[in-house]
Structure 1
Amino acid sequence: MVNLRDALLNGLKSLPGTREFHLHVLVSSPRKHNGLYPYAQPRCRSYLQDVLILLSEQSTPDSPRVFVTAIEACVYNLPTTSSAILYISKVDSTGQGSFPSPTATLVISFLSYYADPATSPITVENLWIQLFARAQNQYLFPNSSEFSGKRPLNDVKLCGWWKRVYTNVVNKITNRLPPTALLKLYYLIPGYSQLEADHSLNIAGSLFPPHDGPRWTYGHPFSQTEIPLPCSINRTGSGTEDIVSWNLGTVIPSFDDDPKSRFMDELAHTDKEGLKSPPRKRPRTVSNTTDNAGTMGPVADKVDSEKPLGELAKVTPDEFWERMSFRQECVAGAVTGFFTMVIRLAADSQGGNGKIGNIRSAVSPLAPRAGQVSSNLNKRVIASLMTAVEFSTPERAIHATESIESTIKGLCEGITSISTPIFRAPRPQTAKMEGSQGHDPPATSLEPPKTPPPRNRRLPDVSPNPFPEPEPTLETYNSYIYGSICVSNAPKSQNQKVLYGANEMPSAPQVTVLTVRKKKKRAE
């Protein structure tokens, strides 16, 4: 089976121009995760993998490398319902690469790798690819917005860009899916009707190739019944189905840096009296946990087992998305969008009733595979990228690229040193970020905007992983993590239509203004 690194390098072969790409792919080993459906009763068993992709470019063999694109994603595996969720957390570029940007090609190759059954590393029947599109000046490359060559897409154009990316992925994998497979595409712009959303994205897509391909559904996928939801079905040993204690928490997943998660938390802690904090857990003392005979009482056990469901059992998915239109993240003056691709591989044997077919993996979902790294290594690289370097100038970007790439290789060789963080003086920023309400955000922070952490979720502790975390080696680095490819194709003119990167636009064409010469009046 082709690994992710080789699949991404193969996708970059068709890019125009002559340059060399250097790719680093970090995929963590699976670990138990209880935050995907925190309010589901009973809890859904899921396993999480972190994915970090860093792409650097070298224009000539003698020129230094510089990062051009980064992708951060999460892969959730739910073996009980044979489902997986690929969530695209962040996509960013520095604007310091050659034209055209490789961002779109890299993202399309990444999504196609998981959507194609022949290359997907997860054996499941149902795959959900989800993301929340929100335009920002920078995400993964600190201070890259200060570089004059970076031209981030605005809110509407970013939503149009993601819609076009999804369309390209579907066109790429359609012939590779089984004849009985079912594929659906959904998108929703909160606060917009379907007519308004289609009109806005069609205008934004005028820079891109013609819109041909699959049919899109305007709305959300959480009310449809053709494809079972990842956590809406409780399975017993006899193979029968039973939905126990239904609430909204069993339908809509919660991701980090996603406005749905914060809204779910508020609904879970809202009752008839309004929003309130969850009750504090009573301490385990002799007076309230034992009786006169010394036996344990039901007080502590009752507090531990209760979860604040609030309005989750009353709000339907349609009502949830209607109320999302009034959330601050969706009405702060910027257009945001939710995009979902759902693929069901065995639609003929399911009949839309949610029964699991014969697609099963004999390998434990927690077993690490070749080329995977520990989650701690992945976190250390992201922390170093977000706090130790910056990309405001070409010189700083070159130094940052060398530092991060050396860090990754050093961690694989057993060298644990991390470069010293760079502290810089505040700089004025001209662009307002979402939610700033007319005030400039602090220029000293390198942390991108994100949704606040969950509100006191009382989740049970996760049991330890029976498999030890993989130890990266230099062989793993050379075979699975790092790779390079030389591209030598005909260059493409900037006047030609291409799918630009998510944070890059071509240089504006020069406009020549002609002056009108006034006709002189003849003397009488």
Structure 2
Amino acid sequence: MNLRDTLLSSLKTLPGTREFHVHVIVSSPRRDNSLYPYAHPRPRVYLQDILVLLSEQVSPDSPRNFVSAIEAYLYHIPATSCAVLNITKLDSTGQAIAPSPTPTLIQSFITFYGDRTTRPVAANHIWIHVFARAQNQYLFPNSSEYPGKRPLGDIQLCAWWKRVLTRVASEVESRAKNDTLIRLFHILPGYGETEAMHALQRAASSSAATPHSSSNCSWTYGHPYSQSEIPLPCSNSGSDEWRGNLGNFVPSFDDDPKSRFMDEIAYITEADGVRSPQKKRPKLSSNRSGDLESTNSVNRDDDSRNKRDKGDRPRGELDRVTPGEFWERMSFRQECVSGAVTAFFVVGISCPADTPSLSPISPLSPQPGQVSSQINKRIMSTLLTGHEFSTLERSVRATELLEGAIKGLCEGLSAMPAKPISVARPPRSHEAGRRTPEPQCPSDVLPEPPRTPPRRLQVLGSQPTTDITPNPFPEPVASLETYNSYIYGSVSVCNPPLPSRPTGEPSAPMNGRDVGQPVTVLAVRKKKKHTK
């Protein structure tokens, strides 16, 4: 069963009567050097772009409307039989019928890659990374202006992601064998373990969440780089000892605060005036033989240090900052101390070592149903810059254009890019008559979506930043058969609706607040003044 059929099968169990239409766009593998840019030696990594768009149709006569979307990246490291799944964005328009299909969609999506029997790459171990940062919108522009969308707050979002990943671990555990190992890690920068536990429990208790399923998987508050049970993607052995290069442990993702912090550590030089304290030399012993032995050890340390300084040592301070110190410093980063609570979640799933992971198929070979990465980029650019979802009418129009563009690209048609939509608002009284002209964009040129400034990876010592080795396989050519068999699918849902709440029972919370609970207002008793 492919990813499209897996998602449709899970959506079929939702309550209510409606029809779902899903588009799953997975690019063919390509070489990538951005996951571990400071590792030495640098592993060979293959990257795939994943985009899932879900639309809903209330009745056969009603129009389709986008309700959820997922953007993710899958990295494959054959040398260590590892895979890394990074969930970069998950968003909803708030225009779906209750209950929202977003939790079911993301849970089924992660379970598909976490389960060894459905994982599309030959990897015995997979690491799932999620960075939870509350925002009003991620993939659907202006969807936060729709009155029905209620984005979660910072701590509510962290509790929501922890609940979803716990369910994924429980589902994978129930399917897998007894010797499958699952480990869950999470960190809330700036919070101690006790503070984070109470904050997440308080946020989870205030939400209308279903009870957790029974699971033997427990969460560890910390990072996964000090354990040796599950192999890391950039290490053949366990990570129980420090090997002197932070770049071999922490992966780098786009638009991620820890990646920007890694870049700063790698580019710290002595001229910057910020360096980690150097280790003191051991004191010489009192006897003569001890003096000679200590002197020789110091000379050997100096020789090794000089060799490392010539080009063998990692860049900047990567050889001085340990993973524990890295996460301790992350608590003082701007993204983590700006007032909003953020969280890093990592789930490691390890299958038995005797499971065959070597495949005669090349990791670069395109598989059925995969498309060129350029198609994924064009769809993402159109979604982020050419449409908006502030009203039902605009959302329906955007859904129709985007779904038509995806089918047109698969048929080999040149889809006309949509013009960026700008909502005209009347100027204020003091601004009438003087407005800054908007830059004109040609109709045939699609502007780039807003992104974080590029990382400083132009020069990494003597190692090139791009892999100039040509791909021996041509880019896959999408066809209408690929579209109907792997990309597009629909499912009709006809289940009993959710039971209505009894009168007087509190309703579901909005943004972590129970809106149905009665509020008692205490009146202030004023003191009477005594008249003479």
Which category describes the TM-score, using the shorter chain as reference length? Answer: 0.7 to 0.9
Question: Once the 2 structures are TM-superposed, how far is the Cα of residue 275 of structure 1 from its aligned partner?
Answer: 6.8
Alignment-derived partner of residue 188 in structure 1: 187
Question: Once the 2 structures are TM-superposed, how far is the Cα of residue 117 of structure 1 from its aligned partner?
Answer: 1.3
Is 1:469 aligned to residue 475 of structure 2?
Answer: yes
**Based on CA coordinates, which of the two structures has the bigger radius of gyration?**
2
Alignment-derived partner of residue 174 in structure 1: 173
Partners in 2 of 1:62 and 1:192 — Cα distance?
51
Change over 3 Å in CA distance of 1:40–1:457 after alignment to 2: farther
Is 1:486 aligned to residue 492 of structure 2?
Answer: yes
What residue identity is the alignment partner of 2:164? Answer: V
Alignment-derived partner of residue 456 in structure 1: 457
Is 1:249 aligned to residue 256 of structure 2?
Answer: no
Is 1:267 aligned to residue 258 of structure 2?
Answer: no
Instruction: Tell me if the contact between 1:41 and 1:244 (Cα under 8 Å) persists in the aligned partners.
Output: no
Instruction: Tell me if the contact between 1:138 and 1:448 (Cα under 8 Å) persists in the aligned partners.
Output: no
TM value normalised by structure 1:
0.81
Partners in 2 of 1:495 and 1:361 — Cα distance?
53
Question: Once the 2 structures are TM-superposed, how far is the Cα of residue 28 of structure 1 from its aligned partner?
Answer: 0.3
Alignment-derived partner of residue 353 in structure 1: none
Alignment-derived partner of residue 84 in structure 2: 85
Alignment-derived partner of residue 401 in structure 2: 403
Question: Once the 2 structures are TM-superposed, how far is the Cα of residue 204 of structure 1 from its aligned partner?
Answer: 1.1
Question: Once the 2 structures are TM-superposed, how far is the Cα of residue 209 of structure 1 from its aligned partner?
Answer: 2.5
TM value normalised by structure 2:
0.80
Alignment-derived partner of residue 315 in structure 1: 321
Matched residue SS, 1:479: helix
Alignment-derived partner of residue 21 in structure 1: 20
Instruction: Tell me if the contact between 1:72 and 1:88 (Cα under 8 Å) persists in the aligned partners.
Output: yes
Matched residue SS, 2:12: helix
Structure 2: gaps (5+ residues): 275-308, 427-437, 439-446, 526-532
Structure 1: gaps (5+ residues): 236-240, 277-302, 350-356, 429-441, 519-524
Question: Once the 2 structures are TM-superposed, how far is the Cα of residue 232 of structure 1 from its aligned partner?
Answer: 2.2
Alignment-derived partner of residue 344 in structure 2: 338
Is 1:220 aligned to residue 223 of structure 2?
Answer: yes
Instruction: Tell me if the contact between 1:52 and 1:378 (Cα under 8 Å) persists in the aligned partners.
Output: yes
Deviations 1:428-450 (A, max 9, x none): 9xxxxxxxxxxxxx9xxx99875
Deviations 1:404-432 (A, max 9, x none): 0000000001111233223314769xxxx
Alignment-derived partner of residue 235 in structure 2: 232
Instruction: Tell me if the contact between 1:93 and 1:504 (Cα under 8 Å) persists in the aligned partners.
Output: no
Matched residue SS, 1:222: helix
Change over 3 Å in CA distance of 1:504–1:67 after alignment to 2: farther
Instruction: Tell me if the contact between 1:41 and 1:245 (Cα under 8 Å) persists in the aligned partners.
Output: no
Change over 3 Å in CA distance of 1:150–1:335 after alignment to 2: same
Instruction: Tell me if the contact between 1:384 and 1:418 (Cα under 8 Å) persists in the aligned partners.
Output: no
Alignment-derived partner of residue 157 in structure 1: 156
Partners in 1 of 2:425 and 2:225 — Cα distance?
44
Instruction: Tell me if the contact between 2:14 and 2:493 (Cα under 8 Å) persists in the aligned partners.
Output: yes
Alignment-derived partner of residue 133 in structure 1: 132
Change over 3 Å in CA distance of 1:107–1:49 after alignment to 2: same
Question: Once the 2 structures are TM-superposed, how far is the Cα of residue 172 of structure 1 from its aligned partner?
Answer: 1.2
Aligned residues: 459
Instruction: Tell me if the contact between 1:84 and 1:128 (Cα under 8 Å) persists in the aligned partners.
Output: yes
Instruction: Tell me if the contact between 1:153 and 1:504 (Cα under 8 Å) persists in the aligned partners.
Output: yes
Change over 3 Å in CA distance of 1:231–1:66 after alignment to 2: same
Is 1:381 aligned to residue 386 of structure 2?
Answer: no
Question: Once the 2 structures are TM-superposed, how far is the Cα of residue 493 of structure 1 from its aligned partner?
Answer: 4.4
Deviations 1:82-137 (A, max 9, x none): 00000001000000111110000000000110111111111211110111000000
Matched residue SS, 1:326: coil
What residue identity is the alignment partner of 1:456? Answer: L
Alignment-derived partner of residue 441 in structure 2: none
Instruction: Tell me if the contact between 1:144 and 1:391 (Cα under 8 Å) persists in the aligned partners.
Output: yes
